Amino acid sequence: MKTSIKAARRLTDPYRVTNGRSFRLKDIDPDDVQNITKVRAQEALERGVELLSEEQEKLYAQDRHAVLLIFQAMDAAGKDGTIKHVMSGINPQGCQVYAFKQPSSQELDHDYLWRTALCLPERGRIGIFNRSYYEEVLVVRVHPEYLEAQRLPPVKGDIWKRRFEEINNFERYLTNNGTLVLKFFLYVSKKEQRERFLARMDDPEKNWKFSVKDAKERQWWNEYHEAYEDMIRHTATKHAPWYVVPANNKWFTRIVVAAAIATALDDLKLTFPTLSPAQREELRRARQALA
Ligand code: ATP
Ligand code: MG
């Protein structure tokens, strides 16, 4: 177990951003697989999923911390598949997944963190956000016309800087109160996204996944790139790090994400609750009653 955690840490270290000041997206290669083969990755994923499942049981039993996993990416980067594979060994009772799409009119009647705050994981649980409040500095930044629908009071200064600060404060608050926040940007290249879109068009079983809107959104690729980079530069912190995960090979993305979660849970030093002498005595009496 100790050696697995060490290996997991080594695997994820290059992608973990805890201080974004000098972060540049071009320092990460979406094709990177660290000399790992697909076969070895399969074994590593199985081990990672096992580790995660053990940690999750302790998280649930201890009932002190919550874990929030945030996934952001361009379309077809593999968010859904990664969530499905990495969480495959997890007890469904201990895990909650929420996808955030275009806000509804009810959601637009509230501040932008409201809808996500309603979905935060309870103590002892793992919560997954498939997209999140980070869309507010990504799609909304690339298409600022979305801001009009938000009916904000007049904004003084730079709204994106202000949002970074609000998000950092929110995540600081969550961390202080027992929620571990981990953020994943699955980094796919423009060329690989094209291949995946074409595969979705060609394969009848994948047709449903293709949307003309997604293909159109490609024309803003560079704007998204800049928005992602700026977001990571401003919101990567020690307590709520970003993992910029190479996503051109799905099998590699999955092991990096599993390893990052397992490592972070290991850092929490979770343990099963131990019984007090009084509780042990109660247990002894219960055993007698069963005799
Ligand atoms: P998939 O395509 O795999 O089903 P998805 O997450 O892409 O998953 P879609 O319904 O295709 O789901 O897209 C959701 C859309 O909603 C995305 O384009 C996203 O940018 C947009 N969205 C999410 N949050 C906001 C927001 N706060 N404001 C405006 N648009 C948003
Ligand atoms: Mg989509």
Residue nearest to ligand 1 atom 20, measured at CA: 139
Atom of ligand 1 nearest to the CA of 112: 27
**Ligand 1 interacting residues, C-beta cut-off 6 A:** 75, 80, 99-103, 130-131, 135-136, 139-140, 146, 211
Ligand nearest to the CA of 140: 1
Supply the Cα-derived Rg of the chain in whole angstroms.
21
Non-local CB neighbours of 272 within 8 Å, separated by 6+ positions: 58, 61, 62
Domain limits of the chain? 2-290
pLDDT at residue number 1? 64
Spans of the chain, pLDDT less than 70: 1
- Ligand 1 pocket: which of 139, 185, 207, 219 to mutate (most atoms <8 Å of CB)? 139
pLDDT at residue number 147? 96
Q: What are phi and psi of 138, to 5 degrees?
A: -120, -85
pLDDT at residue number 89? 87
Residue nearest to ligand 1 atom 4, measured at CA: 209
For residue 75, give the nearest of 230, 252, 210 by alpha carbon: 210
pLDDT at residue number 3? 75
pLDDT at residue number 170? 98
pLDDT at residue number 29? 98
pLDDT at residue number 237? 98
Distance 214 CA to ligand 2 centre (A): 6
- Ligand 1 pocket: which of 70, 116, 131, 208 to mutate (most atoms <8 Å of CB)? 131
pLDDT digit string (tens) for 114-139? 999 999 999 999 999 999 999 999 99
pLDDT at residue number 4? 85
pLDDT digit string (tens) for 81-101? 999 999 998 999 999 999 999
pLDDT at residue number 254? 97
CATH no. of 2-290: 3.40.50.300
Distance 141 CA to ligand 1 centre (A): 14
Atom of ligand 1 nearest to the CA of 139: 20
Distance 211 CA to ligand 2 centre (A): 7
